[in-house]
Amino acid sequence: MTQHHFDPSILRAYDIRGRFGDTLNVRDADYLGRSFGTRVLRAGGQKVTVCRDGRLSSPELTEALIAGLRSTGIDVIDIGCGPTPLLYYSVFSLEADGGIMVTGSHNPIEDNGFKLLLGKNALHGAQITALGELAAHGDFRHGQGKYQNIDLRGRYLNRLLQDVDLKLLAEKGFKIGWDPGHGAAAEMVTRLVERLPGTHYVINGEIDGTFPAHHPDPTIPENLMQLQTLVQEKKLDLGFAFDGDGDRIGVVDREGGIIWGDHIISLLAEDILQRTPGATIIADVKSSQVTFNRIAELGGKPLMWKTGHSLIKEKMRETGALLGGELSGHIYIKDQFYGYDDAIYVALRLLNVFAGHKTNMQVLLAAYPHQVSTPEIRLFCEEKRKFIIIEEVLSRLNSTTHEVSTIDGMRVTSEQGWWLLRPSNTQAALVVRCEAASPDKLNLVIAHLNYHLGLSGLAPIVHSI
């Protein structure tokens, strides 16, 4: 019986991720394949799809992963290099029993990892830990699975365009900028714009695992600077950016302003709620209060939930929500689609919204009430300590009149605004965010948070407004 022990640090809340050649190697990929293949077979499945991003280590990790899967008797369908949503699409369209995406997402160049689906559901938490335990025991199934290579890119592109009103887009004649950041979505974006009406400019449109232009993380403003320059110099209507594996979106308006994920949720909600009044729409705890208020104003049922793609998708299935999203740019559309996070599809649905609205794009964007907020701030501390701090602050807040939500860490609301303190699921850190209607009120919110951070031995956050 062959056993294998993964570095514990790579088994994370939502996926498996580590530094290639250090905490993550080819042997890990092989044994992940054996563990996951065994898990699928025990669940009565037989067929697993595999896709990889453009990182330099992805081909050899994929080869080892497939070997491990096949050694259990699992039949593998290799769909090649592409974005994570292509992997999701393959599981749905090919009726596979599971899928694995080899990707480091938006992590540093040296990192890589795996996102896993059992059936159509993303594995997370204890389910991922269980794969490590299975490998440690070495209790694998044995067999010789089949191998097949299928190119799904054309079918996937057709599906993306299925819900787009091409005639209406042609009438509007939008000018759009696209920046896939040399990530896994680059080829699909390049092929997509050839079929879209209007004028389109694509930058960083080749897959390159060294990410020479900028890091592929659209939640970091500096990574959007090249797109902002393009939009303003070419006088474009809008710009779209994507992360390393194409499941998160960044949006830039014609003035170069950033449209964050929670604002995107509001824009899509208006369209969806016109067709399905009263629908449940989910946003994560980091999202603006304006988003939840707007959903309610539109006749929807706003639901605040935990941050994390696996967690929100699970909650959407539980509640029947038609839309979910996160401040980070993960947007999940169940209305007319599959309910997973596909950034290219989100971009197309946004174009539909703007094309179908009577007012022009900037007027629609300006209707979103302005709030003042901090960015997401990470306070690094010992892994065990971060949970202790949460308990300490909660115990002190019990004696106050503030409204406290404990869905994910704590979100504390007062007349001035709100602040969030939650444990990171991926790092030894606490995550902080604050929001208010004005700079003066934001300073009061920050001061209240800093008071509690100080009592727990943490340095205050500093934010320039």
Q: Are residues 332 and 436 in the same domain?
A: no
Q: Are residues 137 and 193 in the same domain?
A: no
Dist. CA 441–CA 283, nearest whole Å: 24
In a domain, 166, yes or no: no
Please list the pLDDT of the chain residue by residue as tens digits (465 residues): 689 999 999 999 889 999 999 999 999 999 999 999 999 999 999 999 999 999 999 999 999 999 999 999 999 999 999 999 999 999 999 999 999 999 999 889 999 999 999 999 999 999 999 999 999 999 999 999 999 999 999 999 999 999 999 999 999 999 999 999 999 999 999 999 999 999 999 999 999 999 999 999 999 999 999 999 999 999 999 999 999 999 999 999 999 999 999 999 999 999 999 999 999 999 999 999 999 999 999 999 999 999 999 899 999 999 999 999 999 999 999 999 999 999 999 999 999 999 998 677 778 888 888 899 998 999 999 888 999 999 999 999 976 778 999 999 999 999 999 999 999 887 789 999 999 999 999 999 999 999 999 999 999 998 876
Dist. CA 462–CA 254, nearest whole Å: 30
In a domain, 465, yes or no: no
pTM: predicted TM-score of the whole model, two decimal places: 0.95
In a domain, 184, yes or no: yes
In a domain, 352, yes or no: no
- Per DSSP, what are the bridge partners of residue 248? 330
Nearest residue to 218 (alpha-carbon basis) of 243, 185, 188, 238 = 243
Domain end (from 117, 152, 187) = 152
Q: Catalytic: 456?
A: no
Q: Are residues 293 and 426 in the same domain?
A: no
Number of independent structural domains in the chain:
4
CB-CB neighbours of 129 under 10 Å: 16
Q: Are residues 252 and 280 in the same domain?
A: no
Q: Are residues 50 and 138 in the same domain?
A: yes
Dist. CA 450–CA 448, nearest whole Å: 5
State which residues form the domain around 437.
372-455
Q: Are residues 51 and 136 in the same domain?
A: yes
Q: Are residues 109 and 180 in the same domain?
A: no
Q: Are residues 77 and 203 in the same domain?
A: no
Q: Are residues 380 and 362 in the same domain?
A: no
What residues contact residue 154 under an 8 Å CB cut-off, 6+ apart?
A: none
Q: Are residues 31 and 121 in the same domain?
A: yes
* CATH code, domain with 287: 3.40.120.10
* CATH code, domain with 380: 3.30.310.50
**Options 105, 288, 310, 328, the catalytic residue:** 105
DSSP codes joined into one string, 139-164: --------EEE---HHHHHHHHHTT-
Burial of 3 by CB count in 10 Å (0-12 exposed, 13-18 middle, 19+ buried)? Answer: exposed
Print the SS3 string covering 221-259.
HHHHHHHHHHHHHCCCCEEEEECCCCCEEEEEECCCCEE
Q: Are residues 285 and 231 in the same domain?
A: no
What are the C-alpha distances in Å from 436 to residues 281, 288, 289, 377?
23, 9, 9, 16
What residues contact residue 204 under an 8 Å CB cut-off, 6+ apart?
A: 179, 180, 181, 182, 186, 213, 214, 226
Q: Are residues 362 and 384 in the same domain?
A: no
In a domain, 65, yes or no: yes
Handedness of CA 154, 156, 160, 165 (dihedral sign): positive
Burial of 318 by CB count in 10 Å (0-12 exposed, 13-18 middle, 19+ buried)? Answer: exposed
Q: What three-state secondary structure class fits 360?
A: coil
